Structure 1
Amino acid sequence: MTTSVTETPAARRAAAQPSAVRLGLSRAALETRMFFREKDAVIFTFAFPIVLLVIFGSIFSGALEGTGITVSQLYVAGLIGAATMTGFQNLGISIAVERDDGTLKRLRGTPLPPAAYFVGKALVTLLVSSVQVVILLAIGVVLFDLELPSEASRWATFAWVFVLGVLGSSLLGIAVSSLPRSRKSATAVITMPFVVLQFISGVFIPATQLPSWLVNVSAVFPLKWMCQGFRSVFLGDTGAALEIAGSYELDRVALVLGAWVVGGLLLCLMTFRWKSRSDG
């Protein structure tokens, strides 16, 4: 004798509910389409680091004494670090705009899990940063004689620095999106610290040429350590002589980037708001 259990409507809906991962992938696909529809933003996003690399790499093209490494190759590694951190700026501005125009408030009223929204944002950030890095590497190889590493260990270092960098930057971008008071001020409020960080973190100016107090300030933030990790990948053992410590300190790179992932998550949990200030 068999017995059958009739499923309630609520149980059927729960069984049919897509997972947060699946919804996150769907949201990422939507965010990607929305991003590439804004052609002016796409062009600026990808062209800006390319223009900077070509200009700085062409002007400062001499070799660094005793290393055989050119300044332009140093710029390639630094701008790859900046490209990895673009999620800080892109997410900080875009989420601030979506909060101010009511998009976040409307999404909060839908069945979409909050995690799916953030997964979608993170995956788009990963895609954009990956494309930027590939383009910068191609320009570095073609125009500035950058040699890609042949050792698997250096590519493994590239992978974990890139993943931790993108993740930490994305979380930090989500957290700082609550700072602008409106979408009109979002670009100014978030872009300025990102630009300052690039100048004090070894993207445009070698750390050995910076005052010690600026080096200490940059050491608090992830960009310095991301650039240091990427220099270890693309400049090799010879480039370690250009570091203040005389080595790439990869253990500290991993420690600081991992700490920013955890700290960024905590900041998001403490500061993120679905409503704008005008909504109370």
Structure 2
Amino acid sequence: MTTATASPAVLPTLRLGLARGWITYRSLLTTREGLFQTVFWNAVPLVVLILNRGSTLGDTGLSLSAALLPGILAIGLAFGVMGTAYSLSAEREDGTLLRAKAVPGGMSSYVVGLCVAAALDGLLSILIVLVPAMFIVPGVPVGDAVFWLGLAGWVALGLVACLPLGILVGSVIRSPRVIGGLGFLATIGLAMLSGLFFPVQVLWGWVQVAVQAFPVYWLGLGLRSSFLPPEAVAMEIGGSWRTLETIAVLGAWAAVGLLLGPVLLRRMARRESGSAVEARRQQALQRT
């Protein structure tokens, strides 16, 4: 009896969350600022790929632009963490989270919408970079079905691993300005140290060990295994793509985010009140 009454309630929540996410992302793209940011931040990597299409990576003979492309796609997905965290923190500050809390099932649909908007942003970023890159970057195996299956799998696993972490970060860090500033720099720094743009073996041994604790390294490794030729594996730690380890680590991070994220989000939502939102509004007015 409980299952029969609880199951139908899931579908309206999902539908509402999907609609909310789509409306949120569509409204972002229809603003001049949102459209400019989407085009600009995805045009910069294309310029980098064009400038490096004739260069090779050391003595390997591998095109430098081909080596950079998987890392560019990986960092685009990694930024989804900060994007989700920033949206959650900002909407907590402006009272959106409080309004969602007041509606039955509102928190669940709110989280679904948040993840849908971030996933759409990440997928659009990948398309904007990948489609021109197929004509710019030499050696992309566009005619290989295994390549497309691998790419789809790593992108899906990367989203599942990264988006819940964004909820976790946004639940812990209260200020959207901290996430937008320090979070951006931290993501860039982690991407640089995770071998997305150069072989991680050139770094100190302890750094190589440390970055393997984060999903960004493994996401980049998985994407490189799909994009790069088999001989490129010699540039990786241990001379292996470590596919099973990559799936396990990304799955573990997804589990951590899915388990801890809702707990922290509920705790944060319980502390929300009209007086708390008004106090933050007054603080924002004082800053301006």
Q: State the TM bucket, normalised to the shorter chain.
A: 0.7 to 0.9
Question: What's the counterpart of residue 72 of structure 2?
Answer: 79
Q: Which amino acid aligns with 1:193?
A: A
Inter-CA distance 227–86: structure 2 relative to 1 (3 Å threshold): same
Cα offsets for 1:181-221 (capped at 9, x unmatched):
33333312422221111111122232122222222121111
Task: Give yes or no for contact 2:100–2:106 (8 Å, CA) kept in 1.
Answer: no
Residue 43 (structure 1) shift = 2.1
Q: Which residue, out of 125, 136, 139, partners 1:132? A: 125
Q: Which amino acid aligns with 2:215?
A: P
Task: Give yes or no for contact 2:161–2:254 (8 Å, CA) kept in 1.
Answer: yes
Inter-CA distance 201–15: structure 2 relative to 1 (3 Å threshold): closer
Cα offsets for 1:136-185 (capped at 9, x unmatched):
22232222324234333332222221111112111101110133333333
Gaps of 5+ in 2: 1-6, 278-288
Residue 115 (structure 1) shift = 2.1
Task: Give yes or no for contact 2:172–2:264 (8 Å, CA) kept in 1.
Answer: no
Q: Which residue, out of 93, 110, 116, partners 1:117? A: 110
Task: Give yes or no for contact 1:92–1:175 (8 Å, CA) kept in 2.
Answer: yes
| Range 25-34 or range 93-102, more displaced | 25-34
Say if 2:55 is the partner of 1:62. yes
| Range 155-164 or range 49-58, more displaced | 49-58
Inter-CA distance 148–127: structure 2 relative to 1 (3 Å threshold): farther
Residue 20 (structure 1) shift = 1.4
Task: Give yes or no for contact 2:73–2:126 (8 Å, CA) kept in 1.
Answer: yes
Say if 2:170 is the partner of 1:170. no
- Which has the larger share of helix? 2
Question: What's the counterpart of residue 270 of structure 1?
Answer: 263
Q: Matched residue pairs, number? A: 267
> RMSD over aligned Cα, in angstroms?
2.6
Q: Which residue, out of 147, 152, 155, partners 1:159? A: 152
Say if 2:141 is the partner of 1:148. yes
Alignment of 1:41-56 (within 5 A): 41-55=34-48
Which structure is larger by alpha-carbon Rg, 1 or 2?
1
TM-score (norm 1): 0.85
Q: Give distance in 1, aligned partners of 2:11 and 2:153.
A: 30
Task: Give yes or no for contact 1:97–1:183 (8 Å, CA) kept in 2.
Answer: yes
Question: What's the counterpart of residue 5 of structure 1?
Answer: none
Q: Which residue, out of 78, 95, 98, partners 1:105? A: 98
| Percent identity between the two aligned chains | 28
Question: What's the counterpart of residue 179 of structure 1?
Answer: 172
| Range 135-144 or range 89-98, more displaced | 135-144
